[in-house]
Amino acid sequence: MTDATNAIPKNEPHPSSTPRRIVVGITGASGACYAVRVIELLAASGIETHIACSNLGKRLLAEEMGITKLDPDALSGGHGARLVIHPGNDVGAACASGSFKHDGMVVVPASSNTLAKIAHGISDNLVQRAAQVTLKERRPLVIAHRESPIGMAEIEAMRRVTEAGAIVAPLSPGFYLEPTSIQDLVDFMAGRLLDLLGVDHGLAIRWDEHLRARRTQSE
Ligand SMILES: Cc1cc2nc3c(=O)[nH]c(=O)nc-3n(C[C@H](O)[C@H](O)[C@H](O)COP(=O)(O)O)c2cc1C
């Protein structure tokens, strides 16, 4: 799983064989279930998924999901083989460097604290550092913020990260697909976040498909 296993002769041109990689940052906002579902879907679709979790992110995983240890299988519904969990306070971890190639990062759930830190270029932990690097390398960064209501500090931080190239995706699921469970609501958001990262998934979250299904039912 580490780059060292793919050792190549120094400075030799070589064909690209890099698998798709996504970085997931988990922070101390409510909504740990969204993080677990996103990780599950990424890992299930064969994407090398790199996790960075803040201290408060760990607390919320424990309080809301009963996950007390950052275990690859617990975080990915049994698809842990493609998961790499980095120490959340190690700003020298692999995904803290711009030389670590990946296809995008999602911070889910994103606290107002982390949002503000990213907006102001502060990197106190690996989530913040990996997000900064994603922006500076002009890779996709999706910030799935959760807080309500929000004040001027959050609005200003959202403006700043948006101008820097990030997409702010508030964790605010729609109800037009007639959800009947919390899982439906979680899947709605998880699917939209994967869409923003350009990752295919089979979740039934599309309005046009819903309309078609409704029409078929009423025929
Ligand atoms: C139970 C609990 C729930 C919280 N929910 C939120 C939340 O939904 N949104 C938010 O911005 N902060 C929330 N916080 C506060 C953050 O955890 C706090 O600001 C922390 O500093 C965030 O650190 P981090 O950004 O490094 O994860 C919550 C804290 C606790 C203990």
Q: Per-residue DSSP letters for 19-39?
A: PPEEEEEE-SSS-HHHHHHHH
Kindly state the average pLDDT of the residues 122-139.
Answer: 97
Domains and CATH numbers, the chain: 18-218 (3.40.50.1950)
Pair 189, 173: CB distance under 8 Å? yes
The average confidence (pLDDT) of the chain is 92
Dihedral sign, CA of 82, 140, 67, 192? negative
Q: Is 150 in the pocket of ligand 1 (CB under 6 A)?
A: no
Q: Is 97 in the pocket of ligand 1 (CB under 6 A)?
A: no
| pLDDT tens digit sequence for 80-121 | 888 999 999 999 999 999 999 999 999 999 999 999 999 999
Residue 86's SS3 state is: strand
Check whether 9 has a pLDDT greater than 70: no
Which residues fall within 8 angstroms of residue 60, CB to CB, at 6 or more apart? 26, 28, 29, 30, 31, 32, 109
Per-residue confidence (pLDDT) for residue 42, from 0 to 100: 95
CA distances (Å), origin 30, targets 11, 40, 59, 139, 157 = 46, 18, 10, 26, 19
Q: Is 129 in the pocket of ligand 1 (CB under 6 A)?
A: no
Half-sphere exposure of 118 (CA within 13 A, CB side): 39
CA distances (Å), origin 40, targets 15, 136, 188, 190 = 30, 27, 14, 10
| pLDDT tens digit sequence for 147-184 | 999 999 999 999 999 999 999 999 999 999 999 999 99
Pair 194, 144: CB distance under 8 Å? no
The atom of ligand 1 lying closest to the CA of 56 is 27
Kindly state the average pLDDT of the residues 36-46.
Answer: 94
Residue nearest to ligand 1 atom 28, measured at CA: 29
Check whether 13 has a pLDDT greater than 60: no
Question: Which of 53, 113, 150, 172 to probe ligand 1 with, by most ligand atoms within 8 A of CB?
Answer: 113
| pLDDT tens digit sequence for 138-148 | 999 999 999 99
- Using a pLDDT cut of 70, give the percent of the chain over it: 91
Per-residue confidence (pLDDT) for residue 214, from 0 to 100: 87
Check whether 46 has a pLDDT greater than 70: yes
Dihedral sign, CA of 207, 192, 33, 19? positive
Q: Categorize the per-residue pLDDT at 79 as very low, low, confident or very high, splitting at 50, 70 and 90.
A: confident
Q: Categorize the per-residue pLDDT at 218 as very low, low, confident or very high, splitting at 50, 70 and 90.
A: confident
Per-residue confidence (pLDDT) for residue 74, from 0 to 100: 86
